[in-house]
Amino acid sequence: MSEHFDAAETRDPEQREIALLADLRDLLAWAAPATPALARQLAGIDIASLTDRAALAAIPVLRKSELLGMQRVAPPFAGLATTAPGGLKRLLMSPGPIFDPEGYAADWWGCARALAAAGFQKGDILLNTFSYHFTPGAHIMESGAHALGCAVIPAGPGQTEMQIEAIAALKPNGYAGTPDFLKIILEKAEEAGKPALSLRKALVSGAAFPPSLQQWVAGRGIDAYQAYATADLGIVAYETAAREGLVVNEGIIVEIVRPGTGEPLPEGEVGEVVVTRLNRDYPLLRFGTGDLSRILPGRSPCGRTNQRLAGWLGRADQRTKVKGMFVDPAQIAEIAREHAGLGRLRLVVTREAEQDAMLLRAESESFAPELAEALGAALRRVTGLKGAVELHPMGSLPNDGRVIADERPVG
Protein backbone atom coordinates (compact mmCIF):
# COMPACT_ATOMS: atom_id res chain seq x y z
CA MET A 1 0.00 0.00 0.00
CA SER A 2 1.34 3.45 -0.92
CA GLU A 3 2.01 5.80 1.97
CA HIS A 4 -0.05 8.50 0.23
CA PHE A 5 -3.26 8.48 -1.78
CA ASP A 6 -1.65 10.25 -4.77
CA ALA A 7 1.07 12.72 -5.71
CA ALA A 8 -1.23 15.71 -5.12
CA GLU A 9 -0.84 15.27 -1.37
CA THR A 10 2.93 15.87 -1.47
CA ARG A 11 3.21 18.60 -4.11
CA ASP A 12 4.91 21.91 -3.46
CA PRO A 13 2.56 24.16 -1.44
CA GLU A 14 3.09 27.11 -3.79
CA GLN A 15 2.16 24.97 -6.79
CA ARG A 16 -0.95 23.76 -4.97
CA GLU A 17 -1.96 27.35 -4.17
CA ILE A 18 -1.51 28.50 -7.77
CA ALA A 19 -3.50 25.51 -9.05
CA LEU A 20 -6.32 25.97 -6.51
CA LEU A 21 -6.81 29.63 -7.32
CA ALA A 22 -6.68 28.99 -11.08
CA ASP A 23 -9.28 26.23 -10.70
CA LEU A 24 -11.38 28.57 -8.54
CA ARG A 25 -11.39 31.31 -11.18
CA ASP A 26 -12.38 28.84 -13.88
CA LEU A 27 -15.13 27.35 -11.73
CA LEU A 28 -16.61 30.71 -10.73
CA ALA A 29 -16.56 32.06 -14.29
CA TRP A 30 -18.57 29.00 -15.34
CA ALA A 31 -20.85 28.67 -12.30
CA ALA A 32 -21.76 32.24 -11.36
CA PRO A 33 -24.13 32.82 -14.30
CA ALA A 34 -26.07 29.65 -13.33
CA THR A 35 -26.24 30.25 -9.57
CA PRO A 36 -28.06 33.41 -8.44
CA ALA A 37 -26.83 33.26 -4.83
CA LEU A 38 -23.23 32.82 -5.95
CA ALA A 39 -23.61 35.73 -8.35
CA ARG A 40 -24.89 37.93 -5.50
CA GLN A 41 -21.97 36.89 -3.30
CA LEU A 42 -19.58 37.91 -6.09
CA ALA A 43 -21.23 41.27 -6.72
CA GLY A 44 -18.53 43.86 -7.39
CA ILE A 45 -15.79 41.20 -7.47
CA ASP A 46 -13.69 40.72 -10.60
CA ILE A 47 -13.24 36.93 -10.81
CA ALA A 48 -10.01 37.39 -12.75
CA SER A 49 -8.55 39.25 -9.75
CA LEU A 50 -8.76 36.19 -7.48
CA THR A 51 -5.08 35.36 -7.69
CA ASP A 52 -4.22 35.25 -3.98
CA ARG A 53 -5.76 34.89 -0.52
CA ALA A 54 -5.98 38.64 -0.01
CA ALA A 55 -8.24 38.97 -3.07
CA LEU A 56 -10.32 36.02 -1.90
CA ALA A 57 -10.84 37.74 1.47
CA ALA A 58 -12.72 40.58 -0.24
CA ILE A 59 -15.64 38.20 -0.93
CA PRO A 60 -18.32 38.13 1.81
CA VAL A 61 -18.52 35.00 3.94
CA LEU A 62 -21.63 32.86 3.50
CA ARG A 63 -22.36 31.30 6.88
CA LYS A 64 -24.08 27.98 7.43
CA SER A 65 -26.43 29.77 9.83
CA GLU A 66 -27.78 31.74 6.84
CA LEU A 67 -28.56 28.69 4.70
CA LEU A 68 -31.85 27.80 6.37
CA GLY A 69 -33.43 31.16 5.54
CA MET A 70 -31.92 31.24 2.06
CA GLN A 71 -33.26 27.78 1.23
CA ARG A 72 -36.74 28.74 2.40
CA VAL A 73 -36.71 31.67 -0.01
CA ALA A 74 -35.17 29.72 -2.90
CA PRO A 75 -35.73 25.99 -2.37
CA PRO A 76 -34.16 23.56 -2.35
CA PHE A 77 -30.52 24.73 -2.47
CA ALA A 78 -30.83 28.51 -2.18
CA GLY A 79 -29.61 29.15 -5.72
CA LEU A 80 -26.17 27.74 -4.91
CA ALA A 81 -26.28 24.46 -6.88
CA THR A 82 -25.39 24.38 -10.55
CA THR A 83 -27.02 20.97 -11.14
CA ALA A 84 -30.81 20.72 -11.16
CA PRO A 85 -32.32 18.49 -8.44
CA GLY A 86 -33.32 15.84 -10.98
CA GLY A 87 -29.73 15.58 -12.19
CA LEU A 88 -28.30 14.78 -8.77
CA LYS A 89 -27.59 11.38 -7.24
CA ARG A 90 -29.16 12.12 -3.84
CA LEU A 91 -31.22 14.90 -2.29
CA LEU A 92 -30.35 14.89 1.41
CA MET A 93 -31.63 16.68 4.47
CA SER A 94 -29.85 17.68 7.68
CA PRO A 95 -31.47 19.00 10.89
CA GLY A 96 -32.94 22.47 10.45
CA PRO A 97 -33.95 21.32 7.89
CA ILE A 98 -31.06 22.17 5.57
CA PHE A 99 -31.03 20.40 2.21
CA ASP A 100 -27.76 19.02 0.83
CA PRO A 101 -27.08 17.77 -2.73
CA GLU A 102 -24.90 14.86 -3.77
CA GLY A 103 -23.68 14.49 -7.34
CA TYR A 104 -22.66 11.45 -9.38
CA ALA A 105 -18.90 12.03 -9.50
CA ALA A 106 -16.80 9.30 -7.86
CA ASP A 107 -15.91 10.09 -4.24
CA TRP A 108 -18.07 13.21 -4.49
CA TRP A 109 -17.52 14.03 -0.79
CA GLY A 110 -13.72 13.64 -0.88
CA CYS A 111 -13.59 10.87 1.71
CA ALA A 112 -11.23 8.41 0.03
CA ARG A 113 -8.14 10.32 1.15
CA ALA A 114 -9.26 10.29 4.78
CA LEU A 115 -9.96 6.55 4.70
CA ALA A 116 -6.65 5.85 2.97
CA ALA A 117 -4.79 7.88 5.61
CA ALA A 118 -6.55 5.77 8.24
CA GLY A 119 -5.14 2.63 6.64
CA PHE A 120 -8.11 1.50 4.55
CA GLN A 121 -7.43 -0.20 1.22
CA LYS A 122 -9.05 -2.32 -1.45
CA GLY A 123 -10.62 -5.48 -0.06
CA ASP A 124 -11.35 -4.10 3.40
CA ILE A 125 -14.85 -4.44 4.85
CA LEU A 126 -16.24 -1.29 6.44
CA LEU A 127 -19.00 -1.28 9.07
CA ASN A 128 -20.66 2.07 8.34
CA THR A 129 -22.72 3.17 11.34
CA PHE A 130 -23.52 6.70 10.21
CA SER A 131 -27.18 7.26 9.48
CA TYR A 132 -28.51 6.47 6.02
CA HIS A 133 -31.80 8.22 6.85
CA PHE A 134 -31.94 11.62 5.09
CA THR A 135 -28.53 12.88 6.30
CA PRO A 136 -25.26 12.79 4.31
CA GLY A 137 -22.96 11.15 6.89
CA ALA A 138 -23.27 7.54 5.76
CA HIS A 139 -23.03 8.47 2.09
CA ILE A 140 -19.87 10.51 2.69
CA MET A 141 -18.14 7.46 4.14
CA GLU A 142 -19.63 4.95 1.70
CA SER A 143 -18.60 6.90 -1.38
CA GLY A 144 -15.01 7.10 -0.15
CA ALA A 145 -14.96 3.40 0.73
CA HIS A 146 -16.25 2.43 -2.71
CA ALA A 147 -13.67 4.68 -4.37
CA LEU A 148 -10.98 2.67 -2.56
CA GLY A 149 -12.57 -0.68 -3.43
CA CYS A 150 -13.85 -1.50 0.06
CA ALA A 151 -17.02 -3.43 0.77
CA VAL A 152 -19.54 -1.64 2.98
CA ILE A 153 -21.99 -2.94 5.57
CA PRO A 154 -24.73 -0.24 5.62
CA ALA A 155 -25.46 -0.68 9.33
CA GLY A 156 -26.54 2.80 10.35
CA PRO A 157 -26.74 3.77 14.04
CA GLY A 158 -28.47 1.86 16.83
CA GLN A 159 -29.72 -1.75 16.77
CA THR A 160 -26.64 -2.94 18.64
CA GLU A 161 -27.77 -6.58 18.71
CA MET A 162 -27.96 -6.65 14.91
CA GLN A 163 -24.62 -4.84 14.70
CA ILE A 164 -23.02 -7.53 16.87
CA GLU A 165 -24.51 -10.31 14.72
CA ALA A 166 -23.28 -8.60 11.55
CA ILE A 167 -19.77 -8.21 12.95
CA ALA A 168 -19.67 -11.86 14.05
CA ALA A 169 -20.84 -13.14 10.66
CA LEU A 170 -19.29 -10.68 8.19
CA LYS A 171 -16.12 -9.84 10.14
CA PRO A 172 -15.54 -6.24 9.07
CA ASN A 173 -12.03 -5.01 9.77
CA GLY A 174 -13.00 -1.33 9.66
CA TYR A 175 -15.49 0.99 11.35
CA ALA A 176 -16.94 4.36 10.38
CA GLY A 177 -19.16 6.34 12.75
CA THR A 178 -19.02 8.40 15.91
CA PRO A 179 -16.42 7.42 18.51
CA ASP A 180 -19.17 7.15 21.15
CA PHE A 181 -21.01 4.47 19.20
CA LEU A 182 -17.81 2.54 18.57
CA LYS A 183 -17.36 2.27 22.33
CA ILE A 184 -20.96 1.12 22.75
CA ILE A 185 -20.60 -1.58 20.10
CA LEU A 186 -17.36 -2.90 21.56
CA GLU A 187 -18.79 -3.02 25.07
CA LYS A 188 -22.05 -4.67 24.01
CA ALA A 189 -20.19 -7.24 21.91
CA GLU A 190 -18.03 -8.19 24.89
CA GLU A 191 -21.09 -8.46 27.12
CA ALA A 192 -22.77 -10.74 24.57
CA GLY A 193 -19.75 -13.02 24.48
CA LYS A 194 -19.04 -12.10 20.86
CA PRO A 195 -16.13 -9.65 21.05
CA ALA A 196 -15.64 -7.60 17.89
CA LEU A 197 -12.10 -8.86 17.34
CA SER A 198 -12.22 -8.36 13.57
CA LEU A 199 -12.32 -4.55 13.91
CA ARG A 200 -8.79 -3.19 13.57
CA LYS A 201 -9.13 0.27 12.04
CA ALA A 202 -11.62 3.14 12.24
CA LEU A 203 -12.41 6.56 10.83
CA VAL A 204 -14.49 8.50 13.33
CA SER A 205 -16.26 11.84 13.04
CA GLY A 206 -19.32 13.73 14.20
CA ALA A 207 -18.47 13.87 17.92
CA ALA A 208 -15.59 14.56 20.27
CA PHE A 209 -12.81 11.98 20.47
CA PRO A 210 -10.98 12.98 23.66
CA PRO A 211 -7.63 11.42 24.62
CA SER A 212 -9.23 9.19 27.26
CA LEU A 213 -11.53 7.60 24.67
CA GLN A 214 -8.69 7.39 22.13
CA GLN A 215 -6.68 5.38 24.66
CA TRP A 216 -9.68 3.17 25.45
CA VAL A 217 -10.22 2.35 21.76
CA ALA A 218 -6.51 1.78 21.13
CA GLY A 219 -6.47 -0.59 24.11
CA ARG A 220 -8.95 -2.77 22.19
CA GLY A 221 -6.51 -3.09 19.29
CA ILE A 222 -8.21 -0.57 17.00
CA ASP A 223 -6.21 2.09 15.13
CA ALA A 224 -8.70 4.98 14.98
CA TYR A 225 -8.31 8.25 13.09
CA GLN A 226 -10.39 11.41 13.11
CA ALA A 227 -11.96 13.31 10.22
CA TYR A 228 -13.48 16.79 10.25
CA ALA A 229 -16.48 16.90 7.92
CA THR A 230 -19.69 18.81 7.40
CA ALA A 231 -22.90 17.89 5.59
CA ASP A 232 -22.34 20.73 3.13
CA LEU A 233 -18.65 20.28 2.37
CA GLY A 234 -17.83 16.61 2.92
CA ILE A 235 -14.36 15.90 4.32
CA VAL A 236 -12.55 19.14 5.18
CA ALA A 237 -9.51 17.68 6.97
CA TYR A 238 -8.33 14.31 8.23
CA GLU A 239 -5.86 12.78 10.65
CA THR A 240 -2.78 10.92 9.42
CA ALA A 241 -0.24 8.54 10.94
CA ALA A 242 1.74 11.57 12.16
CA ARG A 243 -1.01 12.27 14.72
CA GLU A 244 -0.19 15.99 14.54
CA GLY A 245 -3.34 17.84 13.59
CA LEU A 246 -5.69 17.25 10.66
CA VAL A 247 -4.40 17.67 7.10
CA VAL A 248 -6.64 19.84 4.90
CA ASN A 249 -8.22 17.89 2.05
CA GLU A 250 -7.28 18.49 -1.57
CA GLY A 251 -9.68 20.49 -3.75
CA ILE A 252 -10.67 22.97 -1.06
CA ILE A 253 -9.35 26.26 0.32
CA VAL A 254 -9.45 26.75 4.08
CA GLU A 255 -9.21 30.11 5.84
CA ILE A 256 -9.34 30.94 9.54
CA VAL A 257 -11.21 34.22 10.08
CA ARG A 258 -12.12 36.35 13.04
CA PRO A 259 -15.54 35.11 14.24
CA GLY A 260 -18.41 37.21 12.94
CA THR A 261 -16.26 38.74 10.19
CA GLY A 262 -14.53 37.63 7.02
CA GLU A 263 -11.14 38.92 8.18
CA PRO A 264 -8.41 36.27 7.88
CA LEU A 265 -6.36 35.67 11.02
CA PRO A 266 -2.61 35.00 11.22
CA GLU A 267 -1.41 31.41 11.36
CA GLY A 268 -1.85 30.00 14.84
CA GLU A 269 -4.74 32.27 15.85
CA VAL A 270 -8.02 30.56 16.76
CA GLY A 271 -10.93 31.63 14.58
CA GLU A 272 -13.82 30.42 12.46
CA VAL A 273 -13.15 27.82 9.77
CA VAL A 274 -14.17 29.20 6.36
CA VAL A 275 -14.05 26.81 3.41
CA THR A 276 -14.20 27.26 -0.36
CA ARG A 277 -15.04 23.97 -2.08
CA LEU A 278 -14.22 23.49 -5.75
CA ASN A 279 -17.18 21.30 -6.66
CA ARG A 280 -19.01 21.68 -9.97
CA ASP A 281 -22.42 20.58 -8.62
CA TYR A 282 -22.33 22.71 -5.45
CA PRO A 283 -19.54 25.31 -5.51
CA LEU A 284 -19.53 26.82 -2.03
CA LEU A 285 -17.51 30.04 -1.81
CA ARG A 286 -16.09 31.25 1.53
CA PHE A 287 -18.54 29.09 3.47
CA GLY A 288 -18.43 29.83 7.20
CA THR A 289 -18.82 26.58 9.13
CA GLY A 290 -19.27 28.14 12.56
CA ASP A 291 -16.51 25.86 13.88
CA LEU A 292 -13.38 27.15 15.58
CA SER A 293 -9.86 25.95 14.83
CA ARG A 294 -6.38 27.22 13.99
CA ILE A 295 -3.71 26.48 11.41
CA LEU A 296 -0.70 24.60 12.76
CA PRO A 297 2.71 25.88 11.63
CA GLY A 298 4.98 23.86 9.38
CA ARG A 299 4.33 20.64 7.49
CA SER A 300 3.11 17.28 8.69
CA PRO A 301 5.82 14.66 9.39
CA CYS A 302 3.70 12.25 7.30
CA GLY A 303 4.94 14.00 4.14
CA ARG A 304 1.65 15.62 3.14
CA THR A 305 2.25 19.29 2.40
CA ASN A 306 -1.19 20.87 2.77
CA GLN A 307 -2.17 23.03 5.73
CA ARG A 308 -3.06 21.37 9.03
CA LEU A 309 -5.91 22.23 11.37
CA ALA A 310 -5.54 21.83 15.11
CA GLY A 311 -8.88 20.04 15.15
CA TRP A 312 -12.25 21.19 16.41
CA LEU A 313 -11.82 23.87 19.12
CA GLY A 314 -15.45 24.85 19.72
CA ARG A 315 -18.15 26.87 18.00
CA ALA A 316 -18.00 30.45 16.80
CA ASP A 317 -21.71 30.65 17.50
CA GLN A 318 -23.91 28.71 19.92
CA ARG A 319 -24.94 26.06 17.40
CA THR A 320 -23.45 22.89 18.84
CA LYS A 321 -22.88 19.34 17.59
CA VAL A 322 -24.07 16.65 20.01
CA LYS A 323 -23.62 12.96 19.15
CA GLY A 324 -23.09 13.93 15.54
CA MET A 325 -26.23 16.13 15.34
CA PHE A 326 -26.34 19.92 15.41
CA VAL A 327 -28.47 21.53 18.12
CA ASP A 328 -29.46 25.13 17.40
CA PRO A 329 -30.59 27.91 19.78
CA ALA A 330 -33.71 28.22 17.60
CA GLN A 331 -34.70 24.71 18.68
CA ILE A 332 -34.50 25.69 22.36
CA ALA A 333 -36.59 28.77 21.58
CA GLU A 334 -39.20 26.48 20.00
CA ILE A 335 -39.44 24.52 23.26
CA ALA A 336 -39.89 27.76 25.18
CA ARG A 337 -42.72 28.88 22.90
CA GLU A 338 -44.52 25.59 23.47
CA HIS A 339 -44.45 26.01 27.25
CA ALA A 340 -45.83 29.38 28.29
CA GLY A 341 -44.70 30.83 31.58
CA LEU A 342 -41.10 29.67 31.48
CA GLY A 343 -38.25 32.08 32.06
CA ARG A 344 -34.78 31.59 30.61
CA LEU A 345 -33.72 28.25 29.16
CA ARG A 346 -30.16 26.99 28.86
CA LEU A 347 -29.00 23.74 27.31
CA VAL A 348 -25.77 22.52 28.90
CA VAL A 349 -23.71 20.01 26.89
CA THR A 350 -21.17 17.89 28.77
CA ARG A 351 -19.39 14.53 28.59
CA GLU A 352 -20.48 11.62 30.79
CA ALA A 353 -18.96 8.12 30.58
CA GLU A 354 -17.21 9.06 27.31
CA GLN A 355 -20.50 10.15 25.69
CA ASP A 356 -22.08 13.52 24.94
CA ALA A 357 -24.83 14.43 27.42
CA MET A 358 -27.45 17.22 27.44
CA LEU A 359 -29.10 18.96 30.39
CA LEU A 360 -31.90 21.46 29.79
CA ARG A 361 -32.15 24.02 32.60
CA ALA A 362 -35.40 25.97 32.66
CA GLU A 363 -36.64 28.76 34.90
CA SER A 364 -40.18 28.08 36.06
CA GLU A 365 -42.75 29.01 38.72
CA SER A 366 -43.74 25.34 38.83
CA PHE A 367 -41.55 22.43 39.87
CA ALA A 368 -44.07 19.75 38.96
CA PRO A 369 -42.54 16.48 37.70
CA GLU A 370 -45.03 16.54 34.84
CA LEU A 371 -43.49 19.77 33.52
CA ALA A 372 -39.98 18.31 33.59
CA GLU A 373 -41.24 15.22 31.75
CA ALA A 374 -42.98 17.38 29.14
CA LEU A 375 -39.84 19.45 28.60
CA GLY A 376 -37.74 16.30 28.25
CA ALA A 377 -40.15 14.94 25.65
CA ALA A 378 -40.09 18.23 23.76
CA LEU A 379 -36.29 18.30 23.83
CA ARG A 380 -36.11 14.82 22.32
CA ARG A 381 -38.76 15.59 19.68
CA VAL A 382 -37.22 18.90 18.58
CA THR A 383 -33.54 17.89 18.61
CA GLY A 384 -33.82 14.14 18.04
CA LEU A 385 -31.67 13.58 21.15
CA LYS A 386 -32.36 12.59 24.75
CA GLY A 387 -31.52 14.97 27.58
CA ALA A 388 -32.15 15.51 31.26
CA VAL A 389 -34.18 18.46 32.59
CA GLU A 390 -33.69 20.65 35.66
CA LEU A 391 -36.21 23.25 36.84
CA HIS A 392 -34.83 26.40 38.47
CA PRO A 393 -36.45 29.39 40.19
CA MET A 394 -37.37 32.35 38.01
CA GLY A 395 -34.47 34.75 37.53
CA SER A 396 -31.82 32.29 38.74
CA LEU A 397 -30.09 31.46 35.44
CA PRO A 398 -27.37 33.87 34.21
CA ASN A 399 -28.55 36.84 32.17
CA ASP A 400 -25.73 36.55 29.63
CA GLY A 401 -27.60 35.76 26.43
CA ARG A 402 -26.34 32.18 26.22
CA VAL A 403 -28.88 29.56 25.20
CA ILE A 404 -26.46 26.66 24.65
CA ALA A 405 -23.43 26.20 26.90
CA ASP A 406 -20.91 23.68 25.58
CA GLU A 407 -18.97 22.60 28.67
CA ARG A 408 -17.19 19.63 27.10
CA PRO A 409 -13.40 19.63 27.49
CA VAL A 410 -11.51 20.70 24.38
CA GLY A 411 -8.68 18.54 23.12
pLDDT digit string (tens) for 182-198? 999 999 999 999 999 99
Top CATH class, 321-406: alpha beta
pLDDT digit string (tens) for 39-78? 999 999 999 999 999 999 999 999 887 998 999 999 999 9
Would you state the pLDDT for residue 161?
A: 95
Q: Do domains 7-317 and 321-406 have the same CATH topology?
A: no
pLDDT digit string (tens) for 144-165? 999 999 999 999 998 999 999 9
Based on C-alpha coordinates, what's the Rg of the chain?
Answer: 22
Would you state the pLDDT for residue 2?
A: 55
Q: Where are the domains of the chain?
A: 7-317, 321-406
pLDDT digit string (tens) for 109-134? 999 999 999 999 999 999 999 999 99
Measured distance CA(211)–CA(216) in Å, rounded: 9
Which class for 84: exposed (0-12), middle (13-18), buried (19 or more C-beta within 10 A)?
exposed
1 pLDDT band, cuts 50/70/90, is very low
Please calculate the CA angle 255-102-180 and round it to the nearest 5 degrees: 70
pLDDT digit string (tens) for 273-331? 999 999 999 999 999 998 989 999 999 999 999 999 999 888 777 788 899 888 987 79
Top CATH class, 7-317: alpha beta
Over range 20-24, report the average pLDDT.
Answer: 98
List beta partners, residue 290. Answer: none
C-alpha distances in Å from residue 11, one per residue of 4, 188, 201, 299, 357: 11, 44, 27, 12, 42
Question: In terms of pTM, does the model score above 0.85?
Answer: no
The amino acid at residue 388 is: A
